[in-house]
A and B are shown apart, each in its own frame.
Chain A
Amino acid sequence: MDKITRLASEKGVVIFSKSSCCMCYTVNILFQELGVSPVVHEIDQDPEGREMEKALMRLGCNEPVPAVFIAGKLIGSTNEVMSLHLSGNLIPLVRPYQRAVS
């Protein structure tokens, strides 16, 4: 879906979420802890939410949300993010987007 692709490429770290989803909140918190401020799109508050949900499922996600994109590329859902982080491979991916330490 064009909208997904467009939104995913707008910023370094993009999370598609739902306002009621606590797991999406968890993933957001994790990125915050890594010094990253992801852009969060709440698809349940988007008029095209249904199509976005379907598009995300088509991309191969078991759950439509949270769907994490880094540098426009789909990383996956919570499982993938956690696995990447514990194997030490998440930080290198988000390094360009970490907040500058003052």
Chain B
Amino acid sequence: MELHPIISSKGMNSSSTQFVTPSRFGIYEPIHQLGTWGENFKSNGNPNTSTPMIMEVDIKLDAQVQTSEDTSHRTFPPPTKYEQEASKPLKLLQIQRRLVQNCEVARKSRLWKKAYVQQLESSRLKLVQLEQELERVRQQGSYIGGGVDGFQKGFCGPVNPGIAAFEMEYGHWVEEQTRQICELRSALQAHISDLELRMLVEGGLSYYFELFRMKSTAAKADVFYIMSGMWRTAAERFFFWIGGFRPSELLKVLGPHLDTLTESQNMEVNNLRQSCQQAEDALTQGMEKLQSTLAETVAAGQLVEGGYIPRIPTAMEKLEALVSFVNQADHLRQETLQQMSRILTTRQAARGLLALGEYFQRLRASSSIWATRPREPA
């Protein structure tokens, strides 16, 4: 909407009729709008006295940037000296007051628009981040609702709220774990007191136990999801054993970093290594038996109206057994960590925890490093 100039340096005093014709000057509309905006200004505490506002307007109008789409101020030229005299027709004063209000509105509108654009920008950024997150999860083969229901095909993303919650919690867990590893690294380099180091070690251990608790809850929601390791990177999945890392693997990772063990410590670690391996073997064999009986249960299932319904009671028992295996494997991991913590000194335990954390970080990174490696042309 183009507005015609209503104030010129020439015929000011004889222009009373100019302000009444809307079609020629198109000022009625903005002034009508200003009528309502004026209410807002009054509540904002803008002064209604003309004289100081006119001076203010002088500056504002001069400072206008013509980038805004706001049309209410665009074509108003700066007021001349005529307008700054106190003895003017009332109509002129009114116009001036509205002009000032108009500029105030324009200014506020510019500020609001700037804030809105900033909000849009940050929302857009967030959207991009969410899309990237979704893509990452999809590439990991994100959990697609349980069962063989056809209507769930093509729907990507977690359907089970327990699993969705777990995925989020696990993301936070990894972030916090990374931070703890950094803290541990600095602490070891800074040679802090044994007591403080002990606190860090206990904290680090508890944090692993926290993950086991999270997994236990998630396993009740969907045990196959936890067993599949879809919530972990591909490299970690390669080494997966009943829902997590092998306890014996843990001891192998720690081995090279424990070169300062005493004779008795060495013996205890060797004993732990052996009993850990035996427990692992027993669980593995139990797991194999469970898998074959579960397969039998599924195979013996009855087809009902085109769908598949396994023999419900037996299947439920088997799934509960699966949950108990995941829990038992985590229990083994926890016991292994606790025994190592008992056998080692505080400093040795801290170095061990750091080595373990860095091992998992490297494992997580190796998935993406492999995926983004430079390849030879075919």
A residues with CB within 8 A of B: 20-23, 25-27, 29-30, 33-34, 63, 78-79, 82-83, 85-88, 90-91
Residues of chain A with a CB closer than 8 A to B317's CB: 20
Inter-chain contact A79/B324, CB cutoff 8 Å: no
Q: How many residues of B contact A (CB 8 A)?
A: 26
Is there contact, CB below 8 Å, between B272 and A33? no
Do A26 and B331 have beta carbons less than 8 Å apart?
no
CB contacts (< 8 Å) of A30 on chain B: these are 278-279, 282
Minimum CB–CB distance from B135 to chain A (whole Å) comes to: 39
Report chain B residues within 8 Å CB of A79. Answer: 328, 331
Q: Is B339 an interface residue (CB 8 A)?
A: yes
Whether the pair A83, B289 counts as a contact (CB closer than 8 A) is: no
Task: Tell whether, in the assembled complex, residue B339 and residue A25 are in contact, meaning their CB atoms are under 8 Å apart.
Answer: no
The answer to whether A25 and B289 touch (CB under 8 A), given A33-B278, A88-B275, is yes
Highest count of chain A CB atoms <10 Å: which of B279, B282, B285, B321: B282
Q: Which of A25, A29, A83 contacts B335 (CB 8 A)?
A: A83
Name B's A-contacting residues (CB within 8 A).
268, 271-272, 275-276, 278-279, 281-283, 285-287, 289-290, 293, 317, 321, 324-325, 328, 331-332, 335-336, 339
Add 17 more A-B contacts to A82-B279, A86-B332 (CB < 8 A). A22-B286, A22-B321, A25-B285, A25-B286, A26-B282, A26-B328, A27-B282, A29-B285, A33-B281, A78-B324, A85-B278, A86-B275, A86-B336, A86-B339, A87-B335, A88-B268, A88-B271
Closest to A18 in B: B317
Which A residues touch B332, using CB under 8 A?
Answer: 82, 86
**Contact of A34 with B278 at beta-carbon distance under 8 Å, contacts A23-B328, A82-B331, A86-B339 already known:** yes
Tell me, in angstroms, the Cα distance from A93 to B61 when the chains sit together: 94
Contact B282 A33 (CB under 8 A): yes
Asked if A85 contacts B275 (CB within 8 A), the reply is yes
Q: Which residues of B contact A21 (CB under 8 A)?
A: 321
Distance in angstroms between the alpha carbons of A33 and B331 in the assembled complex: 20
Within 8 Å CB of B275, what residues of A? 85-86, 88, 90-91
Cβ contact within 8 Å between B281 and A22: no
Given the complex of chains A and B, what is the CA–CA distance between A85 and B161 in angstroms? 37
Residues of A within 8 A of B276 (CB): 86
B293 adjacent to A29 (CB under 8 Å): no
Chain A residues lying within 8 Å of B272, measured Cβ to Cβ, are 86, 88
Minimum CB distance partner of B288 in chain A: A22
Question: What chain A residues lie within 8 Å of B290 (beta carbons)?
Answer: 22
Partner of A22, one of B279, B325, B339: B325
- Considering the chains assembled together, what is the distance between the CA atoms of A12 and B268 in angstroms? 27
Are B285 and A26 within 8 A (Cβ)?
yes
**A62 CB to nearest B CB, Å:** 10
A63 to B323, CA, bound (A): 14
How long is the Cα–Cα vector from A91 to B286 in the complex, in angstroms?
A: 21
Can you show 8 pairs from A to B with CB atoms below 8 A apart? A25-B285, A78-B324, A83-B335, A85-B278, A85-B279, A86-B279, A88-B268, A90-B275
